[in-house]
Amino acid sequence: MKQRSEQRIPVLVVGGSLVGLSMSVFLGRLGVRHLLVERHARTSHHPRGRGNNLRTMELFRVAGMEDDIRRAASVLRDNHGILQAHTLAGSEQEWLFRQIDPGGKTAGFSPASWCLCSQNDLEPVLLRHAEKLGGEVRFGTELVSFEQDDDGVTAELLDRSTGRSSTVHADYLVAADGPRSPIREQLGITQSGRGDLFHNISVTFRAEQLAHVVGDRRFIACYLTHPQGAGALLPVDNREHWVFHVPWHPDRGETIEDFTDERCAAHIRAAAGVPELPVEITGRAPWHAAERVADRYHDGRVFLTGDSAHEMPPTGAFGSNTGIQDAHNLAWKLSAVLSGWAGPGLLNTYGIERQPVAVETASRAALRSAEHSHPGFDAPPVGGGGGGRSSVLPVALGYRYTSGAMVGADAKAPIVPEHFAATGEPGTRAPHLWLNQGEVDQDTARISTIDLFERRPVLLSGKDSAWRVAAASAASETGVPINCHRFGDQDGVDWQNSYGIGPDGAVLVRPDGFVAWRSTDGVLDRQSELQGVLREVLSLS
């Protein structure tokens, strides 16, 4: 009889794809012991989920991974825009958009920039950093069952290669187990939304001569409209490896088995407009575009993240980015509660904040798919919204929390605005400003305000030391660790304008870089004010 092993761990993460691995990195950066289990034997080998937006790259930057990710993404560094064409070889073509960031305007909003890195290239980078930070990651390990009570979660795990079972006792369980989440199903958490929108078969293939047909058109994706070759072509290396998303209609009785190598190759040749194009099919995988969001994001000590919490069409790459940002929001809250400087009620704000963001983002992803006529999606563009509502920047950087772990947020403000503007209001992402090297205690060439936010709350103020003294007293009274940063004369006006305060004002920023509170002109009793804000934001008694 095999002996069962038992383990105690603060956090158990189930699912080792982009969101689960990101959660492991974020927890590791915060010093939270955890175990991640993934039922597959290795990271993804299929090139998908490639778009990483500004906010996600900011998070990866602060976590020390940006350079490694850009190296992994170097092969697609010069690919931009989405092209639409009847066939690749034909003259009928137009750019749906040519540049992700035309004119480089986003450099004024963020220290990071967009990055095109396929999932199969990104996951190994995340895994290396997760393990380097001390995270325990077990591939080929499946969650068999779990139970929870007031003290924690007991999970039964199965090593799929050896058949050995083990028991893990965790304080909290994080579900990153995909759109068909068994954890969500067991919890009985329902979903809302329009459901399935369209279906594709993702076909990987080799075709060296296709690069000659594509020429110098370095696109992110090309939507082909030929009746026998409709679909989306994505480059993997711009040379010989490619992906083609073929529309799939299970509602008409089509099965995955119907997509034989011969059928897929003929489809690709029709799309290319080259009847004799040599094509070698190397793999295929079905995927479903849907608009669904979980009605609750947690149950007791179990939390949903990523696709287990929401599904949305791939246009705009909103799904994976929203999931990674879920993980970042939850990680600092778990760390704060486990470390004792926040009350358990802080964890209730995770769903309060993230669920409305997913609802609005999923809606915009569907709208963008309709506007771009994504292959397989027959819905017409939604009238009355258009342009601004489907643009990426307001979704990537402009989303806000109207209630949750902050004080003074505008409860009536839109979750995602029509146009992006950094305002410094409570509930919004703290604006980016470059800091003078002499104003920070870090030995590095260039620092952004974004780089200040990770492990603990940060109080930003002018050169007057009164707020620093008040923060030290409030921290002593509440037990909340606070970092303080004061802006000198050179940056004083810029930071006041960016954060919407006067010379005597201050701003409290959460570890995830969102503004928790601001005093626009200062207050008489700064210590009492800060102490009350910390207790409210962090659910302290």
| pLDDT in the model for residue 365 | 87
CB contact set of 524 (below 8 Å; sequence gap of 6+): none
| pLDDT in the model for residue 383 | 45
Question: What pTM was estimated for this model as a whole?
Answer: 0.94
Among 528, 434, 406, CA closest to 478 = 528
Q: Which two tokens stand for residue 73?
A: 């993404």
Among 424, 390, 117, 254, CA closest to 267 = 254
Q: Rounded CA gap, 177 and 114, in Å?
A: 26
Q: Rounded CA gap, 153 and 173, in Å?
A: 7
* Residue 178 CA neighbour count, 13 Å, CB half: 10
Cα distance from N-terminal residue to C-terminal residue, the chain: 49
| pLDDT in the model for residue 390 | 54
CB-CB neighbours of 419 under 10 Å: 9
Among 246, 299, 310, CA closest to 19 = 310
> Angle 463-467-468 (CA atoms, 0-180°, nearest 5)?
85
| pLDDT in the model for residue 387 | 43
Q: Rounded CA gap, 20 and 173, in Å?
A: 12
E-state strands within 39-140? 51-52, 82-85, 93-97, 115-116, 136-139
* Per-residue pLDDT tens over the stretch 198-211: 899 999 999 999 99
The ranges of the chain with pLDDT < 50 are 1, 383-388
CB contact set of 389 (below 8 Å; sequence gap of 6+): 364, 367, 418
CB contact set of 90 (below 8 Å; sequence gap of 6+): 273
Are residues 270 and 205 in contact, defined by beta-carbon separation less than 8 angstroms? no
| pLDDT in the model for residue 380 | 56
Q: Which two tokens stand for residue 513?
A: 């870089």
| pLDDT in the model for residue 464 | 83
| pLDDT in the model for residue 388 | 45
